[in-house]
Structure 1
Amino acid sequence: MTINETNIKYDVEKLEGSRVKVNVEINQSERKKSLEKAYKSLVKRIQVPGFRKGYTPRPILERYLGNETFESEAIKIVARETLEWFLNKENVTPLRDPYFDIPDSWKEDENLKFSFVLEVPPEFKLGSYKGLNIRKEKVEVTEEEINRVIEQIELQLSKLNPVEEGQVEKGDVVYLERIKEDSSQLPPMWFTLNGKVFPELEDKILGMKPGEEKEFEITFHEGFYEKDLSGQTLKLKWRVNKIWRYERLDQETFLQKVGVQSFEEFREKVRESIKEERERRSEDKAFSEIMSKILENTELDPPLSYVQYLAENIFREFVNDLAKRGMSLDDYLNEKGITKDEFIRNVIEDAKNRIRMEMILEKIAEVENISVSDQEIEDSIREIADSEGRDYEEIKKEIEKGDLINTLRRNLIREKVKKFLLEQNLIEEE
Structure 2
Amino acid sequence: MNVKNCENQEKSIVALTVEVSAEEFEAAIVKAYQKLRKKINVPGFRPGKAPRKIIEGMYGAEVFYEEAVNIAMPDAYEAAVTEKQLDVVGYPQVELEGEVTKDGFTFKASVPVYPEVKLGAYKGLKAPKTPAKVTAADVDDRLKEMADRNTRLVSVDREAKNGDVAVIDFEGFLDGKPFDGGKGTNHSLELGSGSFVPGFEEQVVGMKAGEEKDIDITFPADYHEDLAGKAVVFKVKVHEVKEKDVPAMDDEFAKDVSEFDTLKDLKADLKKKITEEREEAAQRTFEDKLMEQVAENITADVPDAMVDAQAHRFLDNFKNQIMQQGIPYDQYLKMTGMDEAKLLADAKEPALRQVRLDLALAAIIKEENIEISDDEVEEEYKKMAEQYNIELENVKKYLPAQQVKDQLSTRKAISIVTESATATAPKAEKKAEDGEEKPAKKTAAKKTAKAEDGEEKPAKKTAAKKTAKAEDGEEKPAKKPAAKKTAKKTEE
Q: TM-score, normalised by structure 2?
A: 0.57
Q: Partners in 2 of 1:205 and 1:93 — Cα distance?
A: 63
Q: Find the residue that maps to 2:286 and give its secondary structure.
A: helix
Residue of structure 2 aligned with 1:328, choices 329, 332, 335? 332
Q: Which amino acid aligns with 1:144?
A: A
Q: Is the 8 A contact 2:253 2:263 kept in 1?
A: no
Residue-pair matches, total:
380
Counterpart in the other structure of 1:243: 242
Q: Is the 8 A contact 2:166 2:189 kept in 1?
A: yes
Distance apart, 1:152 and its partner CA: 1.3
Q: Partners in 2 of 1:140 and 1:428 — Cα distance?
A: 16
Q: Deviation string for 1:251-295 (max 9, x for gaps)?
A: 346325412344333222211221222223323333332233233
Give the structure with higher Rg (CA). 1
Distance apart, 1:133 and its partner CA: 1.4
CA 1:165–1:376 in 2, change beyond 3 Å: closer, same or farther?
A: same
> What pairs up with 1:165-204 in 2 under 5 angstroms?
173=165, 190-191=189-190
Distance apart, 1:305 and its partner CA: 4.6
Counterpart in the other structure of 2:15: 21
Counterpart in the other structure of 1:136: 129
CA 1:147–1:10 in 2, change beyond 3 Å: closer, same or farther?
A: same
Identity %: 20
Q: Is the 8 A contact 1:172 1:246 kept in 2?
A: no
Q: Partners in 2 of 1:15 and 1:342 — Cα distance?
A: 26
CA 1:333–1:161 in 2, change beyond 3 Å: closer, same or farther?
A: closer
Q: Partners in 1 of 2:244 and 2:32 — Cα distance?
A: 82
1:353 aligns with 2:345: no
Q: Which amino acid aligns with 2:367?
A: V
1:152 aligns with 2:156: no
Q: Is the 8 A contact 1:125 1:298 kept in 2?
A: yes
1:400 aligns with 2:373: no
Counterpart in the other structure of 1:413: 409
Q: TM-score, normalised by structure 1?
A: 0.64
Q: Is the 8 A contact 1:208 1:240 kept in 2?
A: no
Distance apart, 1:246 and its partner CA: 1.9
Residue of structure 1 aligned with 2:156, choices 164, 167, 187? 164
Q: Partners in 2 of 1:303 and 1:245 — Cα distance?
A: 57
Q: Partners in 1 of 2:371 and 2:262 — Cα distance?
A: 43
Q: Partners in 1 of 2:125 and 2:397 — Cα distance?
A: 42
Counterpart in the other structure of 1:127: 120
Task: Could you tell me which runs of 5 or more consecutive residues in structure 1 were left unpaired when the two chains were aligned.
Answer: 48-60, 179-183, 195-201, 214-222, 231-236
Q: Is the 8 A contact 2:139 2:267 kept in 1?
A: yes
Q: Which amino acid aligns with 2:289?
A: E
CA 1:44–1:189 in 2, change beyond 3 Å: closer, same or farther?
A: closer
More divergent stretch after superposition (355-364 vs 322-331): 322-331
> What pairs up with 1:196-235 in 2 under 5 angstroms?
none
Q: Find the residue that maps to 1:352 and give its secondary structure.
A: helix
Task: Could you tell me which runs of 5 or more consecutive residues in structure 2 were left unpaired when the two chains were aligned.
Answer: 35-50, 171-175, 177-181, 194-200, 213-221, 230-235, 427-492
Q: Which amino acid aligns with 1:402?
A: Y
Alpha-carbon RMSD? 5.7
Distance apart, 1:189 and its partner CA: 8.0
Q: Find the residue that maps to 1:370 and give its secondary structure.
A: coil
Q: Is the 8 A contact 2:13 2:111 kept in 1?
A: yes
Q: Which amino acid aligns with 2:150?
A: L
Q: Is the 8 A contact 1:172 1:243 kept in 2?
A: yes
Counterpart in the other structure of 1:198: none
Counterpart in the other structure of 1:362: 362
Distance apart, 1:410 and its partner CA: 1.9
Distance apart, 1:210 and its partner CA: 7.1
Distance apart, 1:170 and its partner CA: 9.6
Higher RCO (C-alpha 8 Å, min separation 6)? 2
